Amino acid sequence: MLRLSPLSSMKSLPLPPQVQIDAGGPRFWKSLEEWSQSPDFLPYLHREFPEYASAWDNGMSRRRFLKLMAASFALAGLTSCSRQPQEKIVPYVRRPEEIIPGKPLYYATTFSHRGYGKGVLVRTEMGRPTKIEGNPDHPASLGATDVFMQASILGLYDPDRSQTIRQGNDISTRDAFTQFVGARIEAHEQDQGAGLFLLTGKTTSPTLADQLQRLHERFPKLSWCSYEPAAPVRAQSILGHDAEPVYDLSKADIIVSLDADFLLDGPANLVLTKAFSKKRRDPAADFNRLYVIESAPSITGAKADVRWRRKPSEVITFTQQLAAAIAQGVAGDSPEIRQLANDLQQHRGRGVIIAGDYQPEVVHALAFQLNQTLGNIGSTVTYQEAQQTPIPTTSLPDFVTALKRRAASTLLIAGANPIYDLSPAWGFSNAMARVTHSIHLGLYDDETGSRCHWHVPGSHYLEAWGDILAIDGTPSLLQPVIEPLYPDAVSLVEVISLLVDLPPKKGYEIVREFWQRSLAADVPAAWELSLNKGVVAGLSPQALSPTPVVSVRDAPPEDLPNSSDLEILFRPDTAVDDGRFANNAWLQELPRPLTKLTWDNVAMISLATAKSMGVTTGDVVRLEAAGQSVDAPVWIQPGHADGCVSVTLGYGRSQLGEVANGVGFNAGLLRSSVAAWSQALTRAQATGARLELASTQHHFSMEGRDLIQIETLADYKTDPSQAQENQPNPPPEENLYPPFAYKDYAWAMSIDLNTCVGCNACVVACQSENNIPVVGKDQVFKGREMHWIRIDRYFEGEPEDPAMHFQPVTCMQCEDAPCEVVCPVGATVHTSEGLNDMVYNRCVGTRYCSNNCPYKVRRFNFLEYSDATHPTLALQKNPDVTVRSRGVMEKCTYCVQRIESARIDAQKEMRPIRDGEIVTACQAACPADAIVFGNINDPASRVSRLKALPRNYGLLADLNTHPRTTYLAKVTNPPTAI
Amino acid sequence: MDSTASETAPILPPDLTDDSITERITGIVVKRKMGYGWIGGFAIAFALLMMFNYAIAVLFTYGVGIWGIQVPVAWGFAIVNFVWWVGIGHAGTFISAVLYLCHQEWRTSINRFTESMTLFAVACAGLFPILHLGRPWLFFYLMPYPNTMELWPQFRSPLVWDVFAVTTYAIVSVIFYFVGLLPDLATLRDRSPHRWQRIIYGILALGWRGAGRQWSRYKMAYLIMAGLATPLVVSVHSIVSLDFAVGIVPGWHTTIMPFYFVAAALESGFAMGLILIIPVRHFYGLKDIITGRHLANMAKLLLATSLVVGHGYFTDTFMSWYSADPYDKFITADKFTGSYAFGGWMLMILDVGVVQLIWIRAVRQSPIALFFIAILANVGLWLDHFILVVQSLHSDYLPSEWRMFYGTKWDWMTLFGSFGLFLTLFFVFIRIFPMVAMSEMRGLVHKKPGETKEAGA
Which residues, in sequence order, are bridge partners of residue A456? Answer: A441
Q: Looking at the domain assignment, is residue A90 inside a domain? A: no
What range defines the domain where residue A176 resides?
A: 166-231+389-533
pLDDT bin (cut points 50, 70, 90) of residue A48 is low
The answer to whether residue A11 scores a pLDDT higher than 50 is no
Mutation target for A interface from B58, B64, B67, B71: give the one with most A CBs within 10 A: B71
B247–A783: do the CB atoms touch at under 8 Å? no
Name which of B134, B139, B160 is nearest A861 (Cβ-Cβ): B134
* Residue A653 C-alpha, separation from nearest chain B C-alpha, in angstroms: 29
C-beta separation of B427 from B271 below 8 A: no
User: Is A830 in the same domain as A845?
Assistant: yes
pLDDT bin (cut points 50, 70, 90) of residue A544 is low
Residue in chain B lying closest to A794 (CA)? B400
Q: Looking at the domain assignment, is residue A151 inside a domain? A: no
Q: Mind listing the pLDDT tens digit for each residue in B41-70?
A: 999 999 999 999 999 999 999 999 999 999
A851–B74: do the CB atoms touch at under 8 Å? yes
Q: Mind listing the pLDDT tens digit for each residue in A651-707?
A: 989 888 888 888 899 888 888 877 788 888 888 888 888 988 888 887 777 777 888
pLDDT in the model for residue A2: 46
User: Is A816 in the same domain as A896?
Assistant: yes
Which residues lie closer than 8 Å to B116 by C-beta, 6 or more apart?
A: B92, B177, B425, B426, B429, B433, B435
* CATH code for the domain in which residue A509 is found: 3.40.50.740
Name which of B248, B393, B398 is nearest A792 (Cβ-Cβ): B398
Largest CA distance in chain B: 71
pLDDT in the model for residue A748: 94
- Could you give the ipTM of this predicted complex? 0.89
User: Is A660 in the same domain as A613?
Assistant: yes
Mutation target for B interface from A695, A708, A822: give the one with most B CBs within 10 A: A822
Mutation target for B interface from A846, A863, A959: give the one with most B CBs within 10 A: A846
Mean pLDDT, range B92-120, rounded to an integer:
82
Alpha-carbon dihedral B19, B24, B27, B29, rounded to 10 degrees: -120
* Residue B144 C-alpha, separation from nearest chain A C-alpha, in angstroms: 10
Asked if the C-beta of A912 comes within 8 angstroms of chain B's C-beta atoms, the answer is no
pLDDT in the model for residue A25: 46
The answer to whether residue A33 scores a pLDDT higher than 80 is no
* Residue A860 C-alpha, separation from nearest chain B C-alpha, in angstroms: 8
The rounded distance, in Å, linking the Cα atoms of A24 and A623 is 55
Last residue of a domain, one of A533, A556, A579: A533
**A166-167/A454-457 β-pairing:** antiparallel
The rounded distance, in Å, linking the Cα atoms of B266 and B260 is 10
Which residues lie closer than 8 Å to A24 by C-beta, 6 or more apart?
A: none
The rounded distance, in Å, linking the Cα atoms of A870 and A882 is 17
* Residue A844 C-alpha, separation from nearest chain B C-alpha, in angstroms: 5
Taking a contact as any Cβ pair under 8 Å apart, which residues of chain A between 837 and 856 contact chain B?
842-848, 850-852, 854-856
User: Is A793 in the same domain as A934?
Assistant: yes
C-beta separation of B269 from B89 below 8 A: yes
Mean pLDDT, range A600-611, rounded to an integer:
91
Name which of A793, A859, A887 is nearest B71 (Cβ-Cβ): A859
Task: List chain A residues with CB under 8 Å of B66.
Answer: 863
* CATH code for the domain in which residue A757 is found: 3.30.70.20
Name which of B68, B152, B400 is nearest A697 (Cβ-Cβ): B400
Share of chain A above pLDDT 70, in %: 88
Beta strands in A601-756 (DSSP E): 603-605, 619-625, 628-636, 644-648, 678-680, 683-690, 694-695, 710-712, 747-752
Q: Mind listing the pLDDT tens digit for each residue in A559-587?
A: 666 667 788 899 999 999 888 899 999 99
* Residue B262 C-alpha, separation from nearest chain A C-alpha, in angstroms: 22
CA distances from A87 to A90, A91, A531 (A): 10, 13, 39
B62–A824: do the CB atoms touch at under 8 Å? no
User: Is A795 in the same domain as A862?
Assistant: yes
* Residue B254 C-alpha, separation from nearest chain A C-alpha, in angstroms: 14
User: Is A344 in the same domain as A399?
Assistant: no
pLDDT bin (cut points 50, 70, 90) of residue B283 is confident
Peptide bond into B72 cis (omega under 30): yes
Per-position b or e across B58-97, b if 16+ CB within 10 A of its CB: ebeeebbbbbbbbbbbbbbbbbbbbbbbbbbbbbbbbbbb
Which residues lie closer than 8 Å to B344 by C-beta, 6 or more apart?
A: B335, B336, B338, B387, B391
Asked if the C-beta of A783 comes within 8 angstroms of chain B's C-beta atoms, the answer is yes
The answer to whether residue A728 scores a pLDDT higher than 80 is no
Q: Mind listing the pLDDT tens digit for each residue in B149-160?
A: 888 999 999 999
Taking a contact as any Cβ pair under 8 Å apart, which residues of chain A between 950 and 969 contact chain B?
955-956, 959
Q: Mind listing the pLDDT tens digit for each residue in A451-475?
A: 899 999 999 999 999 989 888 888 8
pTM for this prediction: 0.86
DSSP string, A736-782: SSPPP---S--EEEEEETTT-----HHHHHHHHHTTPPP--HHHHHH
Name which of A823, A845, A860 is nearest B157 (Cβ-Cβ): A823
B134–A790: do the CB atoms touch at under 8 Å? no
Residue in chain B lying closest to A840 (CA)? B135
Asked if the C-beta of A888 comes within 8 angstroms of chain B's C-beta atoms, the answer is yes
User: What residue ranges define each of the domains in chain B, with the CATH number in brackets?
Assistant: 23-144+154-440 (1.20.1630.10)
Asked if the C-beta of A730 comes within 8 angstroms of chain B's C-beta atoms, the answer is no
A854–B398: do the CB atoms touch at under 8 Å? yes
The answer to whether residue A591 scores a pLDDT higher than 60 is yes
Last residue of a domain, one of A385, A407, A429: A385
The answer to whether residue A761 scores a pLDDT higher than 90 is yes
Task: List chain A residues with CB under 8 Å of B71.
Answer: 783-784, 850, 856, 858-860
B133–A842: do the CB atoms touch at under 8 Å? no
pLDDT bin (cut points 50, 70, 90) of residue A57 is low
User: Is A815 in the same domain as A937?
Assistant: yes
Q: Looking at the domain assignment, is residue A679 inside a domain? A: yes
Q: Mind listing the pLDDT tens digit for each residue in A244-263?
A: 788 888 888 899 999 999 99
Task: List chain B residues with CB under 8 Å of A845.
Answer: 64, 133-135
The mean-pLDDT minimum among A143-157, A888-902, B277-291 falls in B277-291
Share of chain B above pLDDT 90, in %: 31
Q: Looking at the domain assignment, is residue A770 inside a domain? A: yes
Mean pLDDT, range A432-448, rounded to an integer:
89
Q: Looking at the domain assignment, is residue A183 inside a domain? A: yes
Asked if the C-beta of B326 comes within 8 angstroms of chain A's C-beta atoms, the answer is yes
User: Is A764 in the same domain as A863?
Assistant: yes
The mean-pLDDT minimum among A2-6, B152-156, B416-420 falls in A2-6
Residue B117's nearest CA partner among B177, B168, B165, B167 is: B177
Last residue of a domain, one of A511, A533, A555: A533
pLDDT in the model for residue A917: 92
Q: Mind listing the pLDDT tens digit for each residue in A262-297?
A: 999 888 899 999 999 999 888 888 888 999 999 999
B72–A856: do the CB atoms touch at under 8 Å? yes
The mean-pLDDT minimum among A315-329, B208-222, B397-411 falls in A315-329
Name which of A844, A846, A856 is nearest B401 (Cβ-Cβ): A856
Higher pLDDT, A914 or A551: A914
pLDDT bin (cut points 50, 70, 90) of residue A628 is confident
The rounded distance, in Å, linking the Cα atoms of A34 and B45 is 69
* CATH code for the domain in which residue A244 is found: 3.40.228.10
Q: Looking at the domain assignment, is residue A915 inside a domain? A: yes
Reading phi first (left if > 0) and then psi (alpha if -120 to 50, else beta), residue A172 is in beta
User: Is A923 in the same domain as A784?
Assistant: yes
* CATH code for the domain in which residue A633 is found: 2.40.40.20
Taking a contact as any Cβ pair under 8 Å apart, which residues of chain B between 13 and 72 contact chain A?
62-66, 68-72
Q: Looking at the domain assignment, is residue A130 inside a domain? A: no
pLDDT bin (cut points 50, 70, 90) of residue A17 is very low
Q: Looking at the domain assignment, is residue A284 inside a domain? A: yes
Residue in chain A lying closest to B246 (CA)? A822
User: Is A818 in the same domain as A688?
Assistant: no
Name which of A790, A886, A956 is nearest B134 (Cβ-Cβ): A886
How many domains would you assign to chain A?
4
Name which of B71, B74, B141 is nearest A842 (Cβ-Cβ): B141
pLDDT bin (cut points 50, 70, 90) of residue B389 is very high
Mean pLDDT, range A59-80, rounded to an integer:
74
A821–B153: do the CB atoms touch at under 8 Å? no
Asked if the C-beta of B76 comes within 8 angstroms of chain A's C-beta atoms, the answer is no
The mean-pLDDT minimum among A365-374, A487-496, B61-70 falls in A365-374
User: Is A612 in the same domain as A583?
Assistant: yes
Mean pLDDT, range A950-967, rounded to an integer:
89
A824–B154: do the CB atoms touch at under 8 Å? yes
The rounded distance, in Å, linking the Cα atoms of A387 and A473 is 8
Q: What is the mean pLDDT of chain A?
A: 84
pLDDT in the model for residue A686: 87
* Residue A846 C-alpha, separation from nearest chain B C-alpha, in angstroms: 5
User: Is A256 in the same domain as A295?
Assistant: yes
The mean-pLDDT minimum among A772-776, A916-920, B362-366 falls in B362-366
